[in-house]
Structure 1
Amino acid sequence: MSTAVVVPVGEGARRDFRLLWIGQTSSKLGSTITSVALPLVAVSTLDASAFLVAMLPAATWLPWLILGLPAGVWVDRLPRRTVMIVADLIALAVVLSVPIAAWLGVLHIGHLLAAALLTGAASVFFQTAYQTYPPVLLPTAALPAANAKLQGSESAAQVVGPGIGGLVAQLFGAVTGLLGDALSFLISAICLLRIETREKVTRSAETNTLREVGEGLRFVFSDPYLRVLTAFGAASNIGLIGYQAVLVVFLTRVVGVSPGAVGGLIAAMGLGGVAGAALATPIGRRFGTARGMIMCELGAAPFGLLIALGGPGPRLGFVVVGGFVLVAGVVAGNVIKASFRQSYPPPHLLGRVTASKQLVNFGTIPLGALLAGGLASTIGVRQTMWLMLACVVLAALILLAEPIRGRRDLPTSVA
């Protein structure tokens, strides 16, 4: 029988990790408020079409296609904490510009798209640095528990945030909800500034950015584990972001619920993330990290189809149950994959490997959002939900490929 391993961690490291945890939880809370508030601004304030609403997440993720690979190189060259602080401050200014424009009476859908694009660009650098930062603060053996905490609080934020966003939109207008996101970026930056651990930046002898980018790409696509996980992430994100891009439109215009109810429903679905984060480490310990990841992702994906069955009255239960189980499986799989991704590549390649993997994974997100928006405008919103959620189910089958299928645990380092 497997037992938990207690990893000794110094008080300074615990304090610094708590600051990272608090700051990131605050930032995620603000972002989840915006995930409801921004499309509600487009729908209720600007009367945007389903396609334009779907363009917002597409614009948010488009910078990964342009900046993803160079960001990996720069993160490997620069202190990660500094990169995250600068990204937070840029995002703060951009998000704050939206309510200011609304109060001045000059807000336009173009402004929302530009804000989504610029905050997305800041997120490229923040996320690349953030996902490689926990190994700076903690030993490798402590990473699974740390990632479970980070994913758990992120999921909790996804429960609370949409409810707050919907309630604020109902009482004070959707634009006001964006102030919470601006404040969250400020809190995150302050927490990062208080971290005392100073990382050692390994200066590569190579100074050719294109050559360094190529080194990260070659590592990802030549490694059988990273290759399978990258393909799965890219295919899965088309469906996940596709259905999320039209979810607010589906709930408000097809199901017919109020803005406050939209936030409540998305919050109920997000509770699955809290459960998934709590169960990920025990599942990985009991069944193995490779088998546990397959169980979570492949077992939960079919439940997502229930969301498309949603309707007024009791049929709202399909939305909640389907979303809860789907989110639980995705988050549990993400916890397992995060620990693998942080410990497996050589440390000097970590930023580039992370960026290369995310380029492919996140690069399909604009495609999923635009595809969903186009389909919603032509064949209908509910039909689009069916197609996008079916894509999530088919993508999970990729995890059955070798070498992951034949292992109990994912390796912790390159052989």
Structure 2
Amino acid sequence: MQRLPSAFRILWIGEAVSLFGTATSATLLALLAVTKLNAGAGWMGLLAAATWSPWLILGLPIGALVDQVSPRSAMIASDLVAAGAAGVVPLLWATGTLSLPALLAVAFVLGLCAVVFRAALPRLVLRVVDVAHFGAANSRLYATESASTVVGPGVAGLIAQAVSAAVGVLLDAISFLVSAACLTRIRITSCSSGEPDAMTDDTLVRRVRAGAELVARDRYLRYFAGLAALQNFGLTGLLSLQVLFLVDELAAPQVVIGLVLACGGIGGAIGGLLGPRFARRLGTARAPVVLQLISCGSLLVLFATSGAGVVWMAAGLLLGQFAIVGDNVVRTTWRLSYVPEYLQARVSTTMQMLAFAAMPVSGLVSGWLGQQLGVRMALALMLGCYVAGALTMPFGPLKGRRDLPAPVSLRSEL
């Protein structure tokens, strides 16, 4: 395993702790909504929409603003605000005032903090890791994110059964504080070299437009953004309804729910670690195509039944997340070297805004479909959207290529 700089290792530790808390809290909030506040499919859709709508509403301006400030400072600030938002849940629970609208508000604030944190993260990685280690750094970040979902949901189920889901959200608040503390210890000795930002004194609108225009002109970035929008629409439907599916249709106890959801994390952790190997063996263009086709195994979720039949859902989540995370590692590593450093946050938030804009819509649509057609049929339709996107990969701009293109300065010819 490659040895990475100490600054990255500190960032990695902080991320691991924060992601564990986030994975735990996401499951706990869903369990609170379903088991304590009697939320149905409609409310679960709204909860998903609240989590992802900040990307749609504020993603582009946040990306432009984050490109103008220290990425570490932006990430610390987002961690502190997120800790306060998560801490509100147990407080409201203790006073008997917790409600579904309050959960929606907390989900929105946590989503907003995630926008800031994720916009700044690529720039911080660029400043603490040299280009030769981008693949190893991204592999560890994605593998850690997925591994946290192995432990988080399982712990969430145990906490909810032993104490209270609301009390468990305290773990998330504490994890954000730990992440902020780790970030304060990072010492950046030099900034990433690369093209200077010629738009430092430009208006916010023009800075936003610079990132959006690059994505619109570049056929690879444009295709990946559109693909992510379609696939995230489908995957958010799965995420919105999976707890309800396990509780209402499969009659799974809370501990089993945590274990089944953890299988997705196991697959993602393996995919995160093996993604760079796929790229080296198959090529950075062929690997995403193969992994996308493998991810169609997520359709196994639809075969799940009560009792031992939940193994089909576990298998679908494991296989799907293995391929999705492995693909993300390959493409994110490529994008870090492909896009100029000064445009990283803007390009990242532009692509994520396009990708995540579908998520709040998906939350509402999947909730409505669940009410009208039943949860299983709603899952079938949403997963169908995901698979439709995966099947375009062999025919898109990667067709016939072994590797994704090398970076070209300002790429005026695109």
TM beyond 0.5: yes
**Percent of residue pairs bearing the same amino acid type:** 37
**Alignment counterpart, residue 312 of structure 1, candidates 306, 311, 315:** 306
SS of residue matched to 1:133:
helix
Alpha-carbon distance between aligned partners in 2 of 1:148 and 1:167, rounded to the nearest angstrom: 29
Distance 2:397 2:383 in 1: 26
Instruction: Quote how far apart the aligned CAs of 1:279 are.
Output: 1.3
Structure-2 separation of matches of 1:345 and 1:50: 40
CA, structure 1 residues 213+401, in 2 after alignment: closer, same or farther (shift >3 Å)?
farther
TM-score (norm 2): 0.95
Q: Is the 8 A contact 1:96 1:178 kept in 2?
A: yes
The reply to whether residue 149 of structure 1 matches residue 143 of structure 2 is no
The residue number in structure 1 matching 2:241 is 246
Shift of 1:398: 3.0
User: Does 2:17 correspond to 1:17?
Assistant: no
The amino acid that maps onto 1:238 is: F
Structure 1 counterpart of 2:67: 76
Q: Distance in 2 between matches of 1:240 and 1:317?
A: 19
Query: 1:132 is paired with a residue of what secondary structure?
Result: helix
Residue of structure 2 in register with 1:291 after alignment: 286
Aligned position for 2:276: 281
Tell whether 2:406 aligns with 1:412: yes
Please tell me whether the aligned partners of residues 255 and 312 of structure 1 are also in contact (alpha carbons under 8 angstroms).
yes
Report the Cα distance in structure 2 between the residues aligned to 1:40 and 1:131, rounded to whole angstroms. Answer: 32
Alpha-carbon displacement from aligned partner over 1:3-40 (angstroms, at most 9, x marks no partner): x9x7xx7xxx7111011101111111111101110011
Provide the C-alpha distance between the structure 2 equivalents of 1:213 and 1:260, rounded to a whole number of angstroms. Answer: 45
Give per-residue Cα distances to partners, 1:233-290, cap 9 Å, x unaligned: 1111001111110000000000001111111111123210111112111110000011
Computed over aligned residues only, the root mean square deviation of the Cα atoms, in angstroms, reads 1.5
Alignment of 1:31-46 (within 5 A): 31-46=22-37
The whole-number CA distance in structure 1 between the counterparts of 2:108 and 2:164 is 23
- Inter-partner Cα distance in structure 1 for 2:189 and 2:173: 27
Alignment match, 2:389? 395
The residue correspondences of 1:12-411 to structure 2 (distance < 5 A) are 14-197=5-188, 200=191, 204-301=199-296, 303-411=297-405
In the aligned structure 2, how far is the partner of 1:261 from the partner of 1:313?
Answer: 10
Paired with 2:339 and 2:97, the residues of 1 have a C-alpha distance of 48
Residue deviations 1:362-381, cap 9 Å, x none? 11111111111110011100
TM-score, reference length from structure 1: 0.95
Deviation sequence 1:382-407 (CA, Å, 0-9, x none)? 11111111111101123234421221
Cα distance in 2 for partners of 1:379, 1:122 equals 34
What is the deviation of 1:198?
A: 5.1
Compute the displacement of 1:139 (Å). Answer: 1.0
The runs of 5 or more residues in structure 2 that have no matched partner are none
Alpha-carbon distance in 2 for matches of 1:362, 1:152: 21
Structure 2 CA distance, aligned partners of 1:258 and 1:198? 50
Alpha-carbon deviation of 1:111? 0.6
